[in-house]
Amino acid sequence: MIQLINVNKKFANGHVALNNVSLNIENGEFVFLVGTSGAGKSTIIKLLMKELELDSGKIIVDDKDITKIKRSHIPHLRRSMGVVFQDFRLLQDKTVYENVAFAMDVVEAASKDIRRQVPMMLGMVGLSKKSKQYPHQLSGGEQQRVSIARAMVNSPSILVADEPTGNLDPEMSVEIMKLFSEINQRGTTVIMATHDLHIVDKMKKRVVEINEGNIIRDERRGGYFSENQNR
Ligand code: ADP
């Protein structure tokens, strides 16, 4: 379970990114974070990953207050959370296989586990035949699938995605969302920040809407816009 309790975050320039935000996410949920650009979605994701520190409040992940954990425990936290970005962030000089294996290397996984797990993940995302290719030889959708394999290879309990379909055409986006659904159905909590109203409307998952650092809507099976909002 993930809990944000009265989280405040102001940037050095005085800009308030999150204003007393509280949010509970149960294990196994699928949650969309929506809202206009600058609403505070990425700030929530960065706080979860401990890429940013909050000013006040608490963030509890699996019973631990991650705002209090020691620096030496950050790698452990990041292992329990896979992350996918809009711009894929693959290593260009490594093959597909090596990109995924690298995520296991950095957590010092045993070679035999890497040799077993990486092909399994590439199979899950449908890229077994492309394991020796380099990122620039792949389509955007394929690159995003590599990054999903990389995010999931250490079996995290949470998958966090920041605009994962932002650089993809609609067909590729549908494929990516199928993968996220499968991952969620196998029990992983999925938190996805997005602007993609078609995806949100189609998936009918929980929608948390943020505006100027405040949660203004939390719907169990919501659409991109609230029902009483004019389109
Ligand atoms: P979103 O992901 O919803 O587009 P963000 O969480 O990235 O929004 O940003 C929330 C607000 O905080 C925005 O107004 C943004 O300009 C501001 N912001 C984000 N990062 C910084 C930073 N490093 N310094 C100052 N302001 C920032």
Query: For residues 145 and 62, which has the higher predicted lDDT (pLDDT)?
Result: 145
* Dist CA 162 CA 14 (whole Å): 24
Structural element, H or E, at residue 121: helix 111-124
Q: Are 85 and 140 in contact (CB under 8 A)?
A: no
| Average pLDDT of span 7-28 | 96
- State residue 228's pLDDT score: 61
Nearest C-alpha to atom 13 of ligand 1 is from which residue?
38
Residue nearest to atom 7 of ligand 1 (CA): 42
Q: Looking at residues 129-141, what average pLDDT do you find?
A: 97
Longest dimension (CA), the chain: 56
Its pTM stands at: 0.94
Which residue from 7, 8, 13, 15 has its CB within 8 A of the most atoms of ligand 1, so it is best to mutate? 15
d(C-alpha 65, C-alpha 57), whole Å: 10
The pLDDT value recorded for residue 101 is: 97
Give per-residue pLDDT as tens, 177-228: 999 999 999 999 999 999 999 999 999 999 999 999 999 999 998 888 887 6
39 Cα to the center of ligand 1, angstroms: 7
DSSP 230: -
- Domains in the chain, start-ordered, CATH in brackets? 1-80+189-231 (3.40.50.300)
Q: Work out the average pLDDT over 156-175.
A: 95
Q: What does the pLDDT look like over 45-89, one tens digit per residue?
A: 999 999 999 999 999 998 899 999 888 888 888 888 999 999 999
Pick from 71-75, 92-96, 109-113: least confident? 71-75
pLDDT at residue 205, rounded to an integer: 96
Q: How far apart are the first and last CA of the chain?
A: 34
The 3-state DSSP class for residue 164 equals coil
The answer to whether residue 136 scores a pLDDT higher than 80 is yes
Q: Say yes or no: CB of residue 41 within 6 Å of ligand 1.
A: yes
* Closest-CA residue to 44 (of 7, 69, 11, 80): 7
Adjacent-strand bridge partners of 83 = 160
From the CB of 42, is ligand 1 less than 6 Å away? Answer: yes
Residue 226: the pLDDT is 81
How many Cβ atoms from other residues are within 10 Å of residue 189's Cβ?
22
Q: How remote is the CA of residue 194 from the centroid of ligand 1, in Å? A: 15
From ligand 1's centre to the CA of 217, what distance in Å? 20
Per-chain mean pLDDT for the chain: 94
